[in-house]
Amino acid sequence: MTEPAILTKAVVDFITAPRPDALTGEHLRLARRCVLDGLAVALGGSQQPGMAPLGRYILSLGGAGQSRPLGAADHTLPAHLAALWTGTAGHAMDWDDTQLAEGPGRPYGLLMHPTMPPLAASLALADLVAREEGKPVDGARFLDAFTTGFEVGCKIAEAINPDHYMRGFHTSGTIGAFAATAAACRLLTLDAEQTARAIGIAASCSAGIRANFGTMAKPFHVGRAAENGVTAALLAREGFSANDAALDGKWGYLTIAGPGGDPSLVAARFGAPYSMVAPGVSIKPYPSGVLTHPSMDALKFLLRDEGIAAADIEAVTLNAGFNVLGPIRFRIARTELEGKFSFAFLLSAIILRGRCGKDEFTDEFVASDACQAMQHRVETNFDQGIEDMGWDKIRSRVEVVLKDGRRVERWADEAYRGGPDNPLTDRELEEKFADNAAGLLSAEAQAKLFDLVWTLETLPDAGALLDALHWRALDKVAA
């Protein structure tokens, strides 16, 4: 007897169903914000060291000129390679947004980065579809595809057993492939049969392991997710076969990669409500894992309120549970990639610079004498009392010992800055974009991009986004 394709059917039905009124109100407002944030971090990420070897590899392949990669509107690449470039750039600084959990046993902050895989796939295929159809893909259609992928990724991540991440899979790479596939199928207007096969193809492409955190391979997971989604949809359109219930059953994705999951958590809830709206999405204030941010904020505001300078500090101890400390791999960071997974570096940047943005995430700053010395003053400590409070929030306590003998501390257990209960304002989001665009786009070009995104659903041509983000990125990496 064939096992019921509960989750696969729900995914396919959602991707292929007409939804003329889906993008309105809060969903539309948040979708614009996620697009702006995704474009920001991909623009900044296109400068990161890992993009140079990736760019040289992509350019060495050649191929049909179907789509433009973000930051390089003067180049056209095969669509899947454009998606690979843009998706990798979007996660290169670990500054892209984070899905919130809502199901039982889902640790806060350990699901997926929901924007970049479907955004990179949508950008690449918007160019290809425009070439094929002989007319631009408008902003409303682009947003429809992007939000479809966003929703599918979030719901599958909610359905799978949380052990998927805890055992070492990187959800943004694995589940991200389904998000990108959903966006691609929607934009290509595939039918239900084609879409089911595309999901099956994506299930055989889905990959990403946490062992590669702190290396160039981590952002590559997200780039591959976007590439895999584009490839899966295009293969399915050409008639390539695959299991049409690949998420379900004894040999299905949830069982094999979970292990297991609960499709009933989400099967009847695609778009009801949209995960982007409830429980919402966190837009990151810092380019590192979301689990590190409340502790960084706690230290930043403690130093500010107490008037403490770097020269005053003898030692810092971060006390937290396993959900915060577990993913952090490096005691002392030697490179900026390691720095994203090192509390010693992240807290040292706050101490030394009072901030932690694109300028701090450089190999030069991480390796500087001042930063290395300060890192040795910062320790972490597993706190069973904090662990026993549960993982529904990102809890920690920062203790600072001053050279004059005083001790001060601050808890990080309030509403996370950047999350839906304490969101970045639109102005703060534009400032984050400006940080990423520094040295790449003029103030006038940035203002033009803001106008495009804040009215995206009315644009006659979504390709204007790539036009506005051009800074000759591939020419730079090939030099």
440 pLDDT above the threshold of 80: yes
Residues 310-330, mean pLDDT to the nearest whole number = 94
Cβ atoms of residues 448 and 466 within 8 Å: no
140 pLDDT above the threshold of 90: yes
Strand order in the sheet with 313-320: 378-382, 313-320, 396-402, 407-412
110 pLDDT above the threshold of 70: no
**Which tens digit of pLDDT belongs to each residue from 251-301?**
999 999 988 899 999 999 999 999 999 999 999 999 988 889 999 999 999
**Which tens digit of pLDDT belongs to each residue from 7-36?**
999 999 999 999 988 999 999 999 999 999
**pLDDT of 476:** 75
Longest dimension (CA), the chain: 74
The chain-wide mean pLDDT, for the chain, equals 94
108 pLDDT above the threshold of 70: no
Percent of the chain at pLDDT exceeding 70: 97
109 pLDDT above the threshold of 60: no
Type of residue at 96: D
More confident residue, 213 or 316: 316
How far is the C-alpha of 257 from the C-alpha of 173, rounded, in Å? 13
Percent of the chain at pLDDT exceeding 90: 85
Q: Which stretch of DSSP H or E encloses residue 251?
A: none
Type of residue at 289: G
In degrees and rounded to multiples of 5, residue 209 shows phi and psi of -125, 145
**pLDDT of 323:** 87
Taking the model in full, what pTM does it have?
0.91
Cβ atoms of residues 122 and 187 within 8 Å: yes
414: confidence class by pLDDT, cuts 50, 70, 90: confident
**Which tens digit of pLDDT belongs to each residue from 163-214?**
898 899 999 999 999 999 999 999 999 999 999 999 999 999 999 999 998 8
**Which tens digit of pLDDT belongs to each residue from 194-203?**
999 999 999 9
313: confidence class by pLDDT, cuts 50, 70, 90: very high
Cis peptide before 279 (omega within 30 of 0): yes
Distances (CA, A) of 322 to 160, 213, 333: 21, 17, 20
Q: Spell out the domains of the chain, with CATH numbers in brackets.
A: 6-284+434-478 (1.10.4100.10), 290-412 (3.30.1330.120)
Residues 219-248, mean pLDDT to the nearest whole number = 98
Closest CA to 118 of 51, 42, 7, 45: 42
Closest CA to 89 of 123, 127, 38: 38
**pLDDT of 478:** 63
How far is the C-alpha of 230 from the C-alpha of 87, rounded, in Å? 11
CA 66 to chain centre: 25
**Which tens digit of pLDDT belongs to each residue from 364-401?**
999 999 999 999 999 999 999 999 998 877 899 999 99
Phi-psi region of 159 (alpha: psi -120 to 50; beta: other; left: phi over 0): alpha
1: confidence class by pLDDT, cuts 50, 70, 90: very low
